[in-house]
Structure 1
Amino acid sequence: MQPPTAATLWRALAALGMGLVAGTLGTVMHRAVRPWGLLVCVALVLVIVLTARAWVGWFGYVASVGGTFVAVQVLASGGPGGDVLVPADDAWGWAWVLGALAAVAAVAFVPRRWVEDESPPTP
């Protein structure tokens, strides 16, 4: 395995940012329009993580997953006034967290040929 280049590190940082956006939007909006808000938010996580894996590779995949779950964890914890965006006894909150986890796991098992460009051999 080759060491990451500067371009790979910048792309991974962008993938981390995309993951943070997906986790933030999903945590805030998963209960907006039931059940479509939840489905759209899980699909957003799936698309962003898949895009990061196709764009940067495994390094970008890990960065986007980390960003997604950092945002979900921070926003799901109690705020200073005691309010929570993802209550522990709420089925919609559990569906959001487990749906995001399932989307991330699905991208991990996507075959490599779906996300990597193979250049034809040069004669």
Structure 2
Amino acid sequence: MLSGLLGVLVGAVGTFMFAALLPGSVTDHVSAASSWPVGLVLTLALSVAAAILARAWGGYGAYTAYAVGWLVVVIVLSGVHGPGGDVLAGAHQRWASLWMYGGFLLVAASAFAPRGWFSDEPRDRRPTS
């Protein structure tokens, strides 16, 4: 349950904020940081970190609840029309596609994280040679 709510929260925050720090029309390239999509990178990292957290909380059941919550809210919010009639994520179509598809692929790929990351069992000592 909490993992699904976490997925909804991360998906909503990511959809609203991925474009917050997108590169503008920088012509002099004095500031290298302004030419990187910082908001997009941070929201993608948040999505992956939360997916791994959900899997650590409750295994694949919690991870699935997170992934479904994330996916549903991203799809729904990406099609919502704003007060001016524009689509929320449509103003930056290239970045919006990267947020939606790239985010989905990264969240899906986090299901393949090694099982040892989530185990509390002590590991055997490695034999020394």
* TM-score interval, normalised by the smaller of the two chains: 0.7 to 0.9
What's 2:49 paired with?
47
Where does the alignment leave 5 or more consecutive residues of structure 2 unmatched?
23-36, 124-129
Q: Quote how far apart the aligned CAs of 1:116 are.
A: 2.3
Larger radius of gyration: 2
Q: Distance in 2 between matches of 1:80 and 1:30?
A: 16
Q: What's the TM-score once normalised by structure 2's chain length?
A: 0.76
Asked whether the equivalents of residues 88 and 94 of structure 1 are also in contact (C-alpha less than 8 Å), the reply is: no
Paired residue total: 109
Q: What's the TM-score once normalised by structure 1's chain length?
A: 0.80
**Are residues 36 and 88 of structure 1, via their aligned partners in 2, closer, same or farther at CA, if it must alter by over 3 Å?**
closer
What is the RMSD of the two structures over their aligned residues, measured on CA atoms?
Answer: 2.1
What's 1:25 paired with?
13
Asked whether the equivalents of residues 45 and 100 of structure 1 are also in contact (C-alpha less than 8 Å), the reply is: yes
Where does the alignment leave 5 or more consecutive residues of structure 1 unmatched?
1-12
Give the secondary-structure state (helix, strand or coil) at the position aligned to 2:77.
helix
**Are residues 41 and 89 of structure 1, via their aligned partners in 2, closer, same or farther at CA, if it must alter by over 3 Å?**
closer
Q: Quote how far apart the aligned CAs of 1:98 are.
A: 1.7
1:38 is matched with which residue: 36, 40, 46? 40
1:62 aligns with 2:50: no
Sequence identity of aligned pairs in percent?
Answer: 38
What's 2:108 paired with?
105
After TM superposition, the runs of 4+ consecutive aligned structure 1 residues lying more than 2 A away are 78-83
What's 2:94 paired with?
91
